Structure 1
């Protein structure tokens, strides 16, 4: 008997950004329906306004009010609010911030209830979405809290290029104090488990970057490598894991050493994401590892500067959708 088709929730993000555009452009290829049943959490009215603005003709959907009404052979839009909201493309508004949160909350509730199999999130404006109900630096922290995970991992993926970060959306001045041997062991353990369970790599090879320039230069430029990072690497190597480093970040990426490992662990956001996005911006995916659920997103933001101009590339969103499907399938395989 064939397995039931994967039900994939899609959040709208900030509708005044490029989220609806990349969603429509991705799902306009109806071959997507061979792989999953897409359920967009948002507003049929807004989706239709965006479709007309983009002059996309080959895109149809049915509107539903609850997940039980979905049609597995069609694109579904689950209406999360009643108001007929107006587009103000390129400009975040209080209405678009509230709508982004309503979309996220509705999809997350269905995911927690087991009504959908995973979520692909369109970009939010991290400032515009803030409210009494959302006090998180971003999606990663929201999902970690919502699904009560002790820890999670921001994991950027593009083919065999995989980069994770120890710290995420925090000020640079707080990074050094945040990094401890215990946290590194926790993050590396999540990364090892993710590569095995979600990517099918039985004996992963992981490179660990240093925190300081030149990885501290034997203590001359900082002692975190010797006092914090090396002990974490050694403790996991003693258990038979293949860990290497700490490497100076600039030379590591400059000499393409990332091609020799299955994943790289960076110490902070920009140390990992700048080289990743330089190498794979159009096809990169942000995956929240370490959670009991599957959540992916494109590796770009709301891009207000091109919203409504029909210039947004959907490739990263499409890759996020297919990575979610791949991971859901791997997790369901004994």
Structure 2
């Protein structure tokens, strides 16, 4: 089988194994037919996964244990064995070792995409505290992948009904205003526009931009960031023939009518965009890191220690993350094929008697 014809290979990092990460991974892969759609490659150990598989009574799942990503077997659920030791799982507890293993899984999975052994990355939730180390000093997956893959990562929360991008991501509330500049707002609009065109095949995207202050500043009465920063960034985009509108007041924007009009929304900070997003699309919502060379998706929830090990975690968001990664990978290939210069300049050979002037 040629590289072009093989199924898409999905690298999967397990996140914090004391949370629900492995449970939602296994539930997503439990149907035998799943390997007809893609080839899963989980970065962990067969011992760890078998322990949780038995606990969840998922007897139909069989693993193909390999030692390196170069040994992937298509049509199987591959497990790259990163560890040989038996791991003590402590559901619901925050442990240093769980954070260390979460990082090892993420690092190896991301590297496999870089090396071309896998095609896309889907990440299970991490604990942003216990994963911190000398190698991982980032607020989350988004910033880490921006470092190792290069590019300008955009946290793009996506679902069928709503897509939300953020200007500032994982920063304290006290520092949000410092991150709102003409350059940052403009660049995030550009990233959303580029993703909608290349990843979602929207020819003329319509993008709504929210204000920073209550009531979008009320013409300067409640803050001047809208007039001084956000509106100039929007006007610049309009001069480039982009359909960008706003700033809108965040408290009244997220209605069904508005969401039908726009292809995506740019929020100024984390909670401004994610509270309405998770309210509207929690089960099927996906965290997509746009703006990178490779596709990375993740469920839109955290480690959920409170239900870990109970077998009641909902895998729908993780499943949607996998399917979205497959769709985005295909869309990127199609876009690259459609936009490449297939017509080369061929000098015309003049026939005898043609005018040579």
Query: In the aligned structure 2, how far is the partner of 1:71 from the partner of 1:55?
Result: 25
Query: In the aligned structure 2, how far is the partner of 1:67 from the partner of 1:234?
Result: 47
Residue range with higher mean Cα deviation, 76-85 or 296-305:
76-85
**8 Å contact 1:207–1:258 — kept in the other structure?**
no
Residue range with higher mean Cα deviation, 252-261 or 280-289:
252-261
Contiguous gaps of at least 5 residues in structure 2: 338-357
**8 Å contact 2:10–2:39 — kept in the other structure?**
yes
Alignment RMSD: 1.1
Deviations 1:60-111 (A, max 9, x none): 1111111222211110111112221111011121111110000011111111
- 54 and 60 in structure 1: CA distance in 2 versus 1, 3 angstrom threshold: same
Query: In the aligned structure 2, how far is the partner of 1:283 from the partner of 1:80?
Result: 30
SS in 1 for 2:157: strand
Residue range with higher mean Cα deviation, 61-70 or 112-121:
61-70
**8 Å contact 1:216–1:223 — kept in the other structure?**
yes
**Which has the greater radius of gyration?**
2
Say yes or no: does 1:30 pair with 2:32.
yes
Q: How does 1:1-334 map to 2 (within 5 A)?
A: 3-149=5-151, 151-254=152-255, 256-333=257-334, 334=337
Measured after TM superposition, the shift of residue 135 of structure 1 is: 0.2
Residue range with higher mean Cα deviation, 61-70 or 259-268:
61-70
Q: TM-score, normalised by structure 1?
A: 0.98
Contiguous gaps of at least 5 residues in structure 1: none
Query: In the aligned structure 1, how far is the partner of 2:5 from the partner of 2:332?
Result: 13
Measured after TM superposition, the shift of residue 283 of structure 1 is: 0.6
Query: In the aligned structure 1, how far is the partner of 2:216 from the partner of 2:171?
Result: 21
Aligned residues: 333
Q: TM-score, normalised by structure 2?
A: 0.91
Deviations 1:181-210 (A, max 9, x none): 011111111110000000110110000000
Residue range with higher mean Cα deviation, 244-253 or 49-58:
49-58
Deviations 1:23-60 (A, max 9, x none): 00000022221221000001111111111111112211
Measured after TM superposition, the shift of residue 3 of structure 1 is: 2.4
Structure 1 runs (4+) deviating above 3 angstroms are: none
